Each structure stands twice: as structure tokens, then as C-alpha cells.
Amino acid sequence: MPCGPRVQTVQSMLDVKVALARASAEHGVIPSSAVVAIMAACNADLIDPDALMAGAASGGNLAIPLVKPKARTLTPRNTCTGARRARTL
């Protein structure tokens, strides 16, 4: 498992997304089954930190290049649909 400040930063951001998903499921905003899919997608080992940092440099923040590829891996079937899915990510 790669380790370093970049990977730790990415995993911390992903951990926040997982916590948000858990809280959203707890309050009925998303289905509980979506949390499992979100947790699986939120693994820093699946992300190229150099590509993420390059995307952040061109976009001005880490959020968009972090979330955009993850959104492609989460289909409406394993999360939820439409605007609710976008809010979850």
C-alpha cells in the first residue's frame, strides 16, 4: 500500500465522504445499501495521487477531480438516482 502525505490527504477526504454517506443513510437521505458501494469506491489505493494533484492544480481544488471519477463508478443501481446521488458524492 502506497503511503505518504498525498495518499493520506486523499484517504482523509474519502473518509469524509464515507462519513457523510453513513449519516445520510441513517437519516433516510440515501438507501443504506448505497453506503457499501460508496465505501468500496472510497479507497485511496484506487486513486493516482499525482493525477489528482494535477487535476486540482488545473481546477483550483481537490474536490472535483476526486469526486468526478468516483461518480462514474457509482451507478444509480448501487447508490441512488439523480440529484440525490450527486449530493451524496
Rounded alpha-carbon distances, angstroms, from residue 79 to 9, 20, 47, 87 = 25, 13, 20, 11
Q: Taking residues 54-75, what's their average pLDDT?
A: 75
Q: Per-residue confidence at 20, pLDDT binned at 50, 70, 90?
A: very high
Structural domains of the chain ordered from first start: 5-88 (1.10.275.10)
Which residue is it, cell 458501494?
37
pTM exceeding 0.85: no
Of 16-20, 36-40, 63-67, 85-89, the one with minimum mean pLDDT is 85-89
Burial of 44 (0-12, 13-18, 19+ CB in 10 A): buried
Q: Taking residues 17-34, what's their average pLDDT?
A: 95
